[in-house]
Structure 1
Amino acid sequence: MMEILEAKETSTVEKQDARYERPEWGNKTEYILTMVGYVVGIGNIWRFPYLCQTYGGGAFLIPYFIALFVEGFPVFFLELAIAQKLRKGSIGVWSSIHPYLTGIGYSSLVLSFFLCLYFSVIITWITWYLLHSFEYPMPWGFCPLNENDTEYLAECRLSSPVNYFWYRKTLDISTNINEGGTVKWWLLICHIFVWSVIYCCTIRGIESTGKVVYITTPIPYIILFCFLVQGLTLEGSTDGLRYLFTPDMTQLQNPKVWMDAATQIFFSVGLGFGAVVAFSSYNNIHNNCEGDALFLSLVNSLTSVFIAIPVFSVLGFMATITFNECLDRNVQALMNEFDVTEGIITRDNYEDQLNFYNASFPKRILDLKLATCDLSELLNTAVSGTGLIFIVFTEAINNMPVPQLWSILFFVMLFSVGLSSMFGNLEGVLTPLTDLGVFPKSMSKEMVQGMVCLLFMLISMIFITAPGNYWLTIFNDYVCSVPLLFTCFLEIISVMYIYGYKRFREDLEFMLKRKPNPVWIVMWGFISPAVICIILVAYIIVESQNTLEYEAWDPSNPEFPDKLMLEYPTWVVAILSLLSALPCACVPGIAIYKWITSRYQKDKNEVQDIVIGDISVVYNPNNDNDATADNDRMGFPQHPILFQNITYKPGANEF
């Protein structure tokens, strides 16, 4: 079993041995900007506003911020601290605590691998829309004509221009997940471009990423402020903001509100994926990780609230447009039916006029089949994910002045946010693989980065086929949810009850140069793992009661443009289950493998490898004079307990 050194002793050895070459951040600003870019992702834009809209506006903020203090702060601080102390990636950290815990690191690695695959495709779609934002008129602002130029295409006419551009011109989507399809060449070009940009930005690891974030992290905030100013000037924006900040307290009685608030914290901050561990492992041993955890968690959550303001302004704007169009159709129908002069019936007096005619001619009014125009109902219609970004927002931009400008700004913002998040996702894969020594030392960073990016690009091409959007939905909704909660739960248990809370507290005192607040120990030891366990069990129970269905876009559907609700085929459910179970299976699987291999090792008296930082040394219980001589030669202090019977082993690896 591997021996872990105390924090002070690790620091001493690292300074005395010139072979220790763990990369470090150029400065604290690079680290903070990189972390902000990672924790503030596309989910803050398309997921948080949806949850607020679904669960009573401001009422959702109550369980959200409670979950932040109970889960977000503690788990984030724990990941930052343990990585900063052990200075390793996700696999190295947990294997250092105990070899049987190595599977936790592999679980994070698999989760980051899955996330990199489908997240890059979202950036591909964003790139496609960004390119078309320079066109006049906007391509999602009108319906194309048929081959004979006699009428608009039926699929577009029956749905809308924004729906047609998204589902047909962008995705060219199949009618169900069973249908095959080739890779869409226009998306492939954008996909290659996206991965080329990612490669160039991460070519030297944190050395290059730390410079790029000076651009990619501030840009979204600047553009968001522009959208905030523009959104507040739109008609109906006040209705959207009133809906956001008027809490429906009855929603707090719904258990699902609390469950969704808790899971949103994990996905939003990016816990359990290994990226936080990877980035923190490059910090100085005395970095104030406690302050970083509090600051970054608050930045993430406050950014979500800040983003919700322009989003709800736009939603109020779109609801008002739809409401007015509904009123206009009804007004026109009344005027035609009763041969009323133009201007007699208006939006303002529509309700009074309707009541008057309904009292006098109820049958004629009934035969008109007037639509019910309800602004509150329109505001209640929640939209999330790609529907919010590529349909609702693009339609709103069509109705703004100078739509090309706002479209360019919007998709540049999304591209920057997505790119910054990808830096963390990719680091969650590369750092543990590098620590494991998977890549030969003779291979340059540029070559390693290129091989990994190429592999991701090739595999993720499955998402740019005709049924690709259906598969991306599976990865986004199901594959990472349960494994992520499971991984975070094991992380806390491993640190507090295997590594030891006393030892961890001493490490924190050494790193922070002061005693940590006792509240953290209480949260890590009892409250946070209990809450995560309850959420995990509740999530599994709720999801097991739901039928696994997906929305299919089928123009031949009699109720088109309404989407068909189809059940996933058995073979898809099998793949879904396998992918969800794979990260979780890493934990017991690796533990069993470690146990089996340990049974075949030699006696305890044989020479053992001990890892000190990135240095490997050999432990020999049968001490001789040569060991002391080697220690002197390598500059190891003659520690009465730690360095007794230890000699340097050049080129040794941890595994």
Structure 2
Amino acid sequence: MATEQKVSAEPASQTQNQVDSHSTRMATEEGPPEPAHNSKVVDRRTSKYVWKSKTQYMMTQLGFSVGLGSIWRFPSLCQQFEGTFLFSYVLLFFILGVPLVFMELALGQNFRSDVWRKIHPRLGSVGLTCSLITFLLIIYYNIFIAWSILYLRNSFMYPLPWTECPKWTVTSIPDSNCTRATPSVYFWYGQTLHITNRIDDSGGIVLNIGICLLVVWLFLTVISIQDSNTKGKILYFSVIVPYVILFCFLIRSYLMEGSIYGLRKLVKTKISALFSPILWWRAGTQVFFNLGCGCGGLIVLSSFLKMNTNCAQDAFILVFANLASSLLAAQVVFSVLGFRAATFVRECVNQSYWKLMELIRMRVLPIEVHPPENLMKMPVRAFNMWLNHFNDDLRLQVLEHVPDCKVEEELVRNTEGPGLLYMAFTEAIAKFPDATLWSIIFFLMLINLALSSSMGLMQTIQILLQDTFPWLHNSSLTISVTIGCLGFLFSLLFSHHSGLYFLNLFDDFIGTVALCTMILFENIAVAWIYGAKRFMNEVRDCMGFKVWIMHEFLLRYVTLLVIIIIFICYLLSLGKHPTYTAWDWSTFEMSETPYPEWALILGISLIILIMLPTLVGLLCFKKSVILPLPRNSSPQPLEAPKASSSLQDQQASSSGKTGSLFEVQAAEAQVQ
């Protein structure tokens, strides 16, 4: 590392004066972080460059952690497991979220750059593992931005193209494929994704999606090489505006009929579901995904803070803000879904009413089934309740001619995965007054949320690579362009006709298994290799007080045990062959389809590829390992037999390249 090279190459007294001088300047001067593309090497321990303000730092952290995971993944899992998931998620959020976020913020704030090598020399390649996880996350994360751009473009049409089936230009007859499904389903699967029936059938690249991906990566690359002031202005907009839009949607949906049905489903809890291993696995991994743990972003962003910043307070603010954002997004989604269900049930009741009247007039049905005259003015559940008061024979006779119009069925229709946003939610927006305006606002919000997270991921990859490979410190512009080019090429995989299935594959393996594995490894490294008590004491020395709720027992035993239990739940859920949800054009329905063997091998290979740098660093580290000294201790001379003196001389002679860890630790101790 650049800092270690300077410190180890100078006499001890000169090193001490230099460190004290840098520390004084850091405590008295404030300014924005050094631009990522600046050729000047910036060390985050001694540099005067810190966040321009605490507000800018917190906004950046929120923009990084609060993204589409809160408005897509979280509501989708709530839809799948109902209120039981909400309970398990909140429970794990406090057990795991608070201590893990605190741990990562404290790591970045106290160790600055090259965190893992300072914890243990064999862990120097952990940063590369984190950068690989972040890279794989961003390449499938950006496909949501591409889809949202396509929907935003179509939102300017009137009427909205997902509200009615397209017609043949010659005959003006609606497309038969659309009439067999619904306009929103056909627009999503047929006109946006052009989806195939299975993951094996690639179908080639969808040109519109590929062009939108190119626009996204160009934008991210250009932004990543801008100065911090420009990034700060963009972040203020991209973080604040989505919350304003969400509150507008929440108020609007509350004023509409049926929102209460969606909110009831959100909090509906089944005690038996708490014994499902897959529930706890999904809840735990969603906590990690929502908070951004395990991919290095929290560590990188906090490494620009001053050493005496209250990282415990920052952790609580971030955790509660993230939880509030998820709950707000879930309320918006479920209240809008409730409105959609009430609207479609109302239309179903209206059609059933007139059909029953016609059948009674034709004497196909007896007069006893005459619906109430004021049925259309009653609540939407009134029709189903009226049917239930008949005896079984008469009720079955009625249901042979008309549907039962259940709200519960409409609440779960077309809500699988991304379809929750691009089918169910858009279908509901189409029923809003001024639907075009609301559609434009909604997709602008999605693009804003996703871009703020993607910008944080891009910056994280760049800084992690520079920390892992010090010779890249002067190549920030090259790194940004390289990440943009490689990211675009790899993300083209998701622009294929089968791209949605590959997104599910990456989300099942990278967004869950790999992320959870990395967090488990980080927890072991800090709590057991470096030492939880030592870590907490050093954090206390930096902040000037002890955070009693963050006891070393929590990091050493509680979080580790819970993460292991979550992994056990994952293993228990593997009793059946992993499946993905595929669209069947023959039946026009979704079906659970087993992953082919090559897809599972691909997912497992990606996890092995991600963890490979860390495993190689642990097993193949050839140099003698000198553990870092505690911050408040001073280096002691080594008393070793003469046989080992050559090894010490070799280390001393190469200090210009690798740095003396003892001298660095002594200098850091004086800084504290």
1:75 aligns with 2:100: yes
Pairwise CA distance, 1:161: 1.1
Cα gap change, 1:221/1:122 in structure 2, threshold over 3 Å: closer, same or farther? same
1:15 maps to: 23
Cα gap change, 1:420/1:9 in structure 2, threshold over 3 Å: closer, same or farther? farther
Distance 1:226 1:413 in 2: 12
1:512 aligns with 2:538: no
Q: Percent identity?
A: 31
**Which residue of 649, 653, 657 corresponds with 1:605?**
649
Cα gap change, 1:609/1:564 in structure 2, threshold over 3 Å: closer, same or farther? farther
Distance 1:295 1:610 in 2: 44
Distance 2:339 2:654 in 1: 63
Q: What secondary structure does 1:34 align onto? A: helix
Q: What secondary structure does 1:399 align onto? A: coil
Pairwise CA distance, 1:223: 0.4
Q: What secondary structure does 1:172 align onto? A: coil
Pairwise CA distance, 1:267: 0.9
Residue pair 1:111, 1:273 contacting (<8 A) in 2 also: yes
Pairwise CA distance, 1:139: 1.3
Pairwise CA distance, 1:261: 2.4
Pairwise CA distance, 1:467: 1.5
Q: What secondary structure does 2:593 align onto? A: strand
Residue pair 1:144, 1:152 contacting (<8 A) in 2 also: yes
Residue pair 1:188, 1:461 contacting (<8 A) in 2 also: yes
Pairwise CA distance, 1:460: 1.0
Distance 1:164 1:369 in 2: 26
Aligned pairs (5 A) from 1:627-646: 642=666
The more displaced of 182-191 and 588-597 is: 588-597
**Which residue of 442, 445, 467 corresponds with 1:435?**
467
Structure 1 residue identity aligned to 2:650: E
**Which residue of 91, 100, 109 corresponds with 1:84?**
109
Cα gap change, 1:101/1:337 in structure 2, threshold over 3 Å: closer, same or farther? same
Pairwise CA distance, 1:473: 1.3
1:648 maps to: none
1:190 maps to: 212
Distance 2:371 2:270 in 1: 41
Structure 2 residue identity aligned to 1:374: K
1:287 aligns with 2:318: no
Cα gap change, 1:609/1:220 in structure 2, threshold over 3 Å: closer, same or farther? farther
Distance 2:397 2:618 in 1: 75
Deviations 1:149-172 (A, max 9, x none): 252112211111111111122111
Structure 2 residue identity aligned to 1:490: F
Residue pair 2:74, 2:326 contacting (<8 A) in 1 also: yes
2:328 maps to: 306
Q: What secondary structure does 1:604 align onto? A: helix
Pairwise CA distance, 1:198: 1.5
1:486 maps to: 517
Residue pair 2:280, 2:569 contacting (<8 A) in 1 also: no
The more displaced of 521-530 and 434-443 is: 434-443
Q: What secondary structure does 2:581 align onto? A: strand
Aligned pairs (5 A) from 1:470-619: 470-517=501-548, 519-542=550-573, 544-555=574-585, 557=586, 560-595=587-622, 603-608=647-652, 618-619=659-660
Distance 1:619 1:392 in 2: 60
Residue pair 2:384, 2:406 contacting (<8 A) in 1 also: no
Deviations 1:480-530 (A, max 9, x none): 312211211121221122222343123212221112326431211111111
1:47 maps to: 73
Aligned pairs (5 A) from 1:136-535: 136-146=158-168, 148-204=170-226, 206=228, 208-339=230-361, 344=373, 346-347=375-376, 348=378, 350=383, 365=398, 368-379=400-411, 383-437=415-469, 440=472, 443=475, 445-517=476-548, 519-535=550-566
Deviations 1:171-226 (A, max 9, x none): 11222222233322222221122122212322136554333211111010110111
Q: What secondary structure does 2:650 align onto? A: coil
Pairwise CA distance, 1:37: 0.8
Residue pair 2:117, 2:124 contacting (<8 A) in 1 also: yes
Distance 1:291 1:362 in 2: 61
Distance 2:274 2:350 in 1: 37
Q: What secondary structure does 1:605 align onto? A: helix
Q: Which runs of 5+ in 1 are unaligned?
A: 622-635, 644-655
1:107 maps to: 129
Pairwise CA distance, 1:56: 3.9
Distance 1:225 1:389 in 2: 17
Structure 1 residue identity aligned to 2:140: Y
Cα gap change, 1:251/1:203 in structure 2, threshold over 3 Å: closer, same or farther? same
Cα gap change, 1:609/1:549 in structure 2, threshold over 3 Å: closer, same or farther? farther
Distance 1:296 1:169 in 2: 39
Pairwise CA distance, 1:561: 1.6
Distance 2:252 2:396 in 1: 45
Structure 2 residue identity aligned to 1:512: M
Distance 1:352 1:76 in 2: 49
Cα gap change, 1:447/1:360 in structure 2, threshold over 3 Å: closer, same or farther? closer
Structure 2 residue identity aligned to 1:588: L
Distance 1:523 1:609 in 2: 42
What is the TM-score of this pair, normalised by structure 1? 0.85
Pairwise CA distance, 1:145: 1.3
Residue pair 1:40, 1:300 contacting (<8 A) in 2 also: yes
Distance 2:390 2:511 in 1: 56
Q: Which runs of 5+ in 2 are unaligned?
A: 9-15, 27-40, 363-369, 626-644, 668-672
Structure 1 residue identity aligned to 2:507: N
Cα gap change, 1:503/1:152 in structure 2, threshold over 3 Å: closer, same or farther? same
Residue pair 1:100, 1:595 contacting (<8 A) in 2 also: no
Residue pair 1:25, 1:207 contacting (<8 A) in 2 also: no
Structure 2 residue identity aligned to 1:436: T
Distance 1:17 1:65 in 2: 42
Residue pair 1:439, 1:448 contacting (<8 A) in 2 also: no
Residue pair 1:480, 1:580 contacting (<8 A) in 2 also: no
Give the alignment's Cα RMSD to 1 decimal.
3.4
Residue pair 1:608, 1:620 contacting (<8 A) in 2 also: no
Distance 1:54 1:322 in 2: 21
Q: What secondary structure does 1:371 align onto? A: coil
The more displaced of 408-417 and 380-389 is: 380-389
Residue pair 1:107, 1:584 contacting (<8 A) in 2 also: yes
Residue pair 1:31, 1:210 contacting (<8 A) in 2 also: no
Cα gap change, 1:291/1:371 in structure 2, threshold over 3 Å: closer, same or farther? same
Residue pair 2:414, 2:423 contacting (<8 A) in 1 also: no
Distance 1:20 1:446 in 2: 15
Cα gap change, 1:266/1:332 in structure 2, threshold over 3 Å: closer, same or farther? same
Cα gap change, 1:239/1:100 in structure 2, threshold over 3 Å: closer, same or farther? same
Cα gap change, 1:60/1:176 in structure 2, threshold over 3 Å: closer, same or farther? closer
Aligned length: 611
What is the TM-score of this pair, normalised by structure 2? 0.83
Cα gap change, 1:258/1:616 in structure 2, threshold over 3 Å: closer, same or farther? same
Deviations 1:600-641 (A, max 9, x none): x97232244899xxx9775599xxxxxxxxxxxxxx9xx9x9
Q: What secondary structure does 1:271 align onto? A: coil
